[in-house]
């Protein structure tokens, strides 16, 4: 890591922010009208333009604190970036949510493109940043921490960066850790998070008071859907109090249940790690007579890890996920398929996501609705349940020797360091987050849409969970790779279409065609 140096080389080209004649109608904020009046409560910022163009913009500090001074971006003096032709992102750059279009399609929803801006709203020496990680572990957490520190320090010359220990509750119950480039050097080679994480302990008022009392003015919040709901409420309270504090969410989850963005960091690593368990199950299944290798993978409400691990492996004969109901007995059921595969092949591999078949398990175990500290429903162990059910079924066929090897890698797929591609992804994510905060944006989440880093309003991420769409081509590809039954009746298919999940780039483009955002937001 090099330290941030301020050289004499000026970027000669790059920004043409003010040259472009914009045709958009700014329904919330107009360039020609000057700064908007300060408001204490945020509303979606939706900008419309020609040919059905819609920009779902993110808040800016000047939305509620007008007349904030601006400063030249220190990056313009950074020798490392001097060679880049157009380093600063044009203010008008936006990224289309849908890239598969027809000749007459409206231009549709867009998001603000992430990246460094020519003007910043914080003086480097005034920045006091903090980073917090919440929820379950995910490969790449340390990389994001490292790169936020590196970006703030090396690009913007910021020296006051603190780590909030142990998740949200750390804001009001723990001391902070000073994060310096030296302290974070090499942490991306380790799993976990060096500042700790937790579930529960969210107290909006105490958290914002702690931010205010400590004089923190940039808050980087790394976590999943629950964390981002909390981050959104923190932003609202910060705004209500009129604080010049940028609140930035960095979505994290191995489950990939965050909508809109291409995928979440750590997902690739988790899928890769899941391969080891599947490989082991396959070896066991192949080497023993009439053997089933059963692997349970994480995925509470979304079966992306199981689906992608199955597709990647090609050794899996059946993949069960929360989004696709299945049944055990009778024609078209799981037992019938198992018997068929065992007869044909002498072995089989089943992958089950932890959230799959929860209704069946609950029915047979009659368990209570227990919750974790964050209020997430605690799941019954579908892996153990399914093992027992399969064993019981084969007891009815004593003439047939039968084996089952159950592998539950649980935390092993998420407690590992991130792989190379997740490291690069996390680096870009962290840099984009820092550029956005320095440029005065707030109340946003950063993430890639069609490979371009974007700033997305919180509500886009928190309103729905990303799920596997079982009427999408990706699930069909998976089914055709395993040859398993779909377990679906026509009624299930119709229900699934009605209950369509939000668009995600990990799904087929077909999925992304559904649901216009404009309908869901208030144009103000």
Ligand X SMILES: Nc1ncnc2c1ncn2[C@@H]1O[C@H](COP(=O)(O)OP(=O)(O)OP(=O)(O)O)[C@@H](O)[C@H]1O
- Cα distance between residue 509 and residue 262, in whole Å: 11
Binding map of ligand F6P across residues 297-336, x = CB under 6 A, - = no contact: -xxx------------------------------------
Choose from ligand X, ligand F6P, Mg ion, none: what does 316 bind? Cβ within 5-8 Å by kind: none
Give me 467's structure tokens: 């799920």
- Cα distance between residue 27 and residue 32, in whole Å: 12
Catalytic residue among 57, 63, 255, 472: 255
Find the helix packing angle between 382-395 and 358-365, rounded to 10°. 70
In the complex, least distance from residue 225 CB atom to Mg ion, rounded to whole angstroms? 4
In the complex, least distance from residue 136 CB atom to ligand F6P, rounded to whole angstroms? 3
229-288: which residues touch ligand X (CB under 6 A)? Answer: 229-230, 233, 253, 255
128-133/291-297 β-pairing? unpaired
Give me 410's structure tokens: 């649980």
What kind and span of H or E run contains 248?
strand 246-251
Give me 495's structure tokens: 């229900």
Choose from Mg ion, ligand F6P, ligand X, none: what does 298 bind? Cβ within 5-8 Å by kind: ligand F6P
Q: Which residues contact 447 (CB under 8 A, 6 or more apart)?
A: 251, 258, 260, 261, 262, 264, 429, 453, 454, 456
223-282: which residues touch ligand F6P (CB under 6 A)? Answer: 224, 253-255
- Cα distance between residue 117 and residue 300, in whole Å: 38
**Residues placed in the known binding site:** 136, 199-200, 224-227, 253-255, 298-300, 354, 411-414
In Å, how far are 32, 47, 62 from 22, measured between CA atoms?
11, 12, 20
125-154: which residues touch ligand F6P (CB under 6 A)? Answer: 135-136
In the complex, least distance from residue 233 CB atom to ligand X, rounded to whole angstroms? 5
User: Which value, to the nearest 10 degrees, does the dihedral of the CA atoms of residues 116, 120, 121, 127 take?
Assistant: 80
By the rule CB under 6 A, 197 interacts with ligand F6P: no
Choose from Mg ion, ligand X, ligand F6P, none: what does 73 bind? Cβ within 5-8 Å by kind: none
**Residues placed in the known binding site for substrate:** 253-255, 298-300, 354, 411-414
In the complex, least distance from residue 130 CB atom to ligand X, rounded to whole angstroms? 15
In the complex, least distance from residue 194 CB atom to ligand F6P, rounded to whole angstroms? 17
By the rule CB under 6 A, 403 interacts with ligand X: no
Applying CB under 6 A, among 64, 202, 265, 337 the residue interacting with ligand X is 202
Strand partners, 128: 160
In the complex, least distance from residue 168 CB atom to ligand X, rounded to whole angstroms? 4
User: Which value, to the nearest 10 degrees, does the dihedral of the CA atoms of residues 77, 83, 89, 90 take?
Assistant: 100
CB 112 within 8 A of CB 97: no
By the rule CB under 6 A, 224 interacts with ligand X: yes
Residue number, 116 or 167, with CB nearest to Mg ion = 167
40-69: which residues touch ligand F6P (CB under 6 A)? Answer: none
- Cα distance between residue 376 and residue 493, in whole Å: 27
CB 506 within 8 A of CB 263: yes
> Is 255 one of the annotated active-site residues of the chain?
yes
Binding map of ligand X across residues 131-150, x = CB under 6 A, - = no contact: ---xxx--------------
Q: Which residues contact 204 (CB under 8 A, 6 or more apart)?
A: 230, 233, 234, 237
Residues lying near Mg ion in the complex (CB under 5 A) are found at 224-226
Residues lying near ligand X in the complex (CB under 6 A) are found at 134-136, 167-168, 199-202, 223-227, 229-230, 233, 253, 255, 374, 376
List residues with catalytic annotation. Answer: 255
């Amino acid at each position: 890591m090099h330290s941030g140096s301020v050289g004499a080389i000026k970027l000669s080209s790059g920004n043409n922010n003010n040259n472009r004649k914009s045709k958009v109608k700014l329904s919330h904020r107009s360039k020609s009208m000057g700064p908007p009046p300060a408001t204490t409560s945020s509303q979606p910022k939706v900008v419309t333009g020609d040919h059905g163009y819609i920009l779902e913009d993110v808040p800016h500090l000047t939305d509620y604190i007008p007349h904030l001074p601006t400063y030249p971006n220190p990056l313009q003096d950074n020798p490392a970036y001097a060679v880049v032709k157009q380093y600063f992102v044009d203010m008008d750059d936006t990224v289309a949510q849908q890239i598969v279009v027809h000749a007459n399609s409206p231009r549709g929803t867009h998001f603000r493109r992430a990246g460094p801006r020519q003007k910043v709203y914080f003086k480097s020496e005034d920045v006091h940043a903090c980073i917090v990680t919440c929820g379950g572990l995910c490969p790449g957490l340390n990389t994001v921490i490292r790169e936020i520190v590196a970006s703030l320090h090396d690009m913007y010359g910021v020296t006051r960066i603190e780590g909030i220990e142990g998740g949200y509750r750390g804001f009001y119950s723990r001391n902070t850790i000073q994060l310096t480039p030296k302290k974070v050097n090499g942490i991306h080679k380790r799993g976990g998070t060096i500042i700790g994480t937790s579930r529960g302990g969210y107290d909006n008022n105490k958290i914002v008071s702690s931010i205010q009392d400590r004089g923190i003015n940039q808050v980087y919040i790394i976590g999943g859907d629950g964390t981002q709901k909390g981050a959104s409420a923190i932003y609202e309270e910060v705004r209500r109090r009129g604080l010049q504090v940028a609140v930035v969410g960095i979505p994290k989850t191995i489950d990939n249940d965050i909508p809109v963005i291409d995928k979440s960091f750590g997902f690739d690593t988790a899928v890769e790690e899941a391969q080891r368990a599947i490989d082991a199950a396959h070896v066991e299944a192949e080497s023993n007579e009439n053997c089933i290798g059963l692997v349970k993978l994480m995925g509470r409400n979304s079966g992306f890890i199981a689906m992608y691990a199955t597709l990647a492996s090609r050794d899996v004969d059946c993949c069960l996920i929360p989004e696709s109901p299945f049944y055990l007995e009778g024609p078209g059921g799981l037992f019938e398929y198992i018997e068929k595969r065992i007869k044909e092949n002498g072995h089989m591999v089943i992958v089950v996501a932890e959230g799959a078949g929860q209704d069946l398990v609950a029915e047979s175990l009659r368990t209570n609705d227990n919750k974790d500290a964050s209020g997430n429903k605690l799941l019954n162990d579908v892996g153990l349940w399914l093992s027992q059910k399969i064993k019981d079924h084969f007891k009815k066929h004593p003439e047939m020797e039968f084996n089952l090897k159950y592998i539950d890698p649980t935390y092993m797929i998420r407690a590992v360091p991130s792989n190379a591609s997740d490291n690069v992804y996390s680096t870009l994510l962290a840099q984009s987050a820092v550029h956005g905060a320095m440029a005065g944006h707030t109340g946003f989440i950063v993430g890639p849409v069609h490979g371009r880093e974007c700033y997305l309003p919180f509500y886009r991420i928190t309103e729905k969970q990303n799920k596997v769409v079982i009427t999408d081509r990706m699930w069909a590809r998976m089914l055709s790779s395993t040859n398993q039954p779909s377990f679906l009746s026509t009624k299930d298919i119709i229900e699934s279409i009605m209950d369509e999940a939000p668009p995600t780039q990990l799904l087929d483009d077909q999925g992304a065609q559904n649901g216009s955002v404009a309908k869901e937001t208030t144009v103000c």
